[in-house]
Amino acid sequence: MSTAAGSTADGGSTPPVLELRGATARFGSVAALSSVDLALRGGQVTCLLGENGSGKSTLVGVLSGMRRLSEGELLLDGRPARFRSPRQARAAGIATVWQDLAIAPLMSVWRNFFLGAEPTRGPRPLRRLDVARAQQVTTTAMAGVGVVGLDPDQPASALQAGERQSLAIARALHFGARVLVLDEPTAPMTVAQRALVLQSVVAAREAGLAVVFVTHSPQYAHLVGDRFVLLGGGRVAGDLTAEDVDVHDLTRLVAGGDELSRLTEALRSARPGH
C-alpha cells in the first residue's frame, strides 16, 4: 500500500495535525482509555480497529469534542487544545461522520449538504438564496467523492447508506476540514455502497486530510489504510503500517484478543526493516 505524497511509511516526515499524548479517559473508576498516544497526519489514513469495548468510541468522542480527557494532552498543530463541545472541534477543522448519521430526510440533498451555510447572492439587505449555486456545488462535491449523476433536488431519504456517508464526507471537504473522523456506519451496506465510502476516504486523503477510519473489518481497513492502530482494553495494543502487515496478518491481529500485543511484537520482529 503506497502512502500519500509527502508522507512516509512511518509518517515521521509530516508533523501531526492532531495528536494525543498519554490520553486517559475515565468513567467513574473505569478507564475507557489509558495512556493512549496517537498522531494524525495530513494525507494519511489511520484505521482504528478493535473489539467492542476496546475504547474506539471513547477515542472518537475525545477527538470530536464529545468527551474530555481525565489525563493527558490533545494537541492541535503542536499546541495544547481543549474542545468543550463538538462545535468547537468543528470550528478547529475536525469533522466527524457518526455511526448513526443524521440527515433531514424530507429536505433535498443540497439542503442537507449546506445545513445553514447556504450561498446567497445580491446586495444587502436584499440578499437571497442562490439555489443554482448550491445545487452546482453539491453536485460537484459529490462527484469528487465518487457519487456521480446525482439529482441534488431529490430528498435525502432517497440516498443509499453509502451515499449518505459520502455526502457527509463531501461536506467536510468542501467546508475546509483538516481532520476527518469516520465512525463505522451501522447501516447495512452492499459491497458497492461500501466501496463508495472507501472511495470517499481515499478522496479525503488525497485532499490532504488526516483521516481516522474506525472499522471492525481488517479487509476494508487494509484497502485504504496507511496506519493501523489496534485498541484492546482501552490501550494501544498495536500501531503498524501497511508495510508491516498484509491483510491476513491484520485479520489475525484483530481476532487476537488477549494475544494482540504478542502477535504485534512477533510481526514486528519478523520484519525488522520496518
With CA atoms as reference, report the closest residue to 54 among 188, 224, 255.
255
The domain total for the chain is 2
Q: Is 25 helix (H, G, I), strand (E, B) or coil?
A: strand
CATH code assigned at 25: 3.40.50.300
User: Do residues 111 and 167 both lie within one domain?
Assistant: no
Give the mean pLDDT per block of 10 residues along the chain (274 residues): 39 83 93 96 96 91 95 96 94 91 91 92 87 97 95 96 93 96 82 91 96 92 95 93 90 69 57 54
pLDDT score, position 252: 85
What is the grid cell recorded at 15? 508533523
Residue ranges with strand state E in the chain? 18-27, 30-40, 44-49, 71-76, 79-80, 94-97, 120-121, 128-129, 179-182, 210-214, 227-232, 235-241
Q: Do the Cβ atoms of 63 and 95 come closer than 8 Å?
A: no
Question: C-alpha grid cell for residue 208?
Answer: 490532504
pLDDT of res. 125: 82
- Residue 52 in grid coordinates: 467492542
Boundary (domain end) residue, out of 125, 158, 191: 158
Residues 174 and 66 in one domain: yes
Residue 176 sits in the same domain as residue 266: yes
Determine the pLDDT at residue 73: 96
Q: Does 125 lie in the same domain as 248? A: no
pLDDT in tens, 28-61: 889 999 999 999 999 999 999 988 889 999 999 9
The residues, any chain, with a CB within 8 Å of residue 28's CB and separated by 6 or more, are none
Rounded Cα gap, residues 100 and 15, in angstroms: 32
* Site of grid cell 442537507: 112
Q: Same structural domain for residues 251 and 134?
A: no
> What pLDDT, on a 0 to 100 scale, did the predictor assign at position 3?
40
Written as one letter, the residue type at 119 is P
Per-residue pLDDT at 268 = 57
Among 187, 254, 213, residue whose Cα is nearest residue 52: 254
Domain containing residue 23: 18-103+159-270
If asked whether residues 218 and 252 sit together in one domain, one would say: yes
Q: Are residues 196 and 94 in the same domain?
A: yes
264, 176: one domain: yes
User: 155 is written with which cell numbers?
Assistant: 430528498
**Which amino acid makes up residue 63?**
L
DSSP state of 157: G
Question: Quick check: 113 and 104 in contact, CB under 8 A?
Answer: no
In this structure, the answer to whether residues 216 and 98 fall within a common structural domain is yes
Alpha-carbon span 107 to 156, nearest angstrom:
6
- Residues with Cβ within 8 Å of 266's Cβ and at least 6 positions away in sequence, in order, are none
Residues 220 and 237 in one domain: yes
Q: Examine the domain organization and report whether 57 and 108 are in the same domain.
A: no
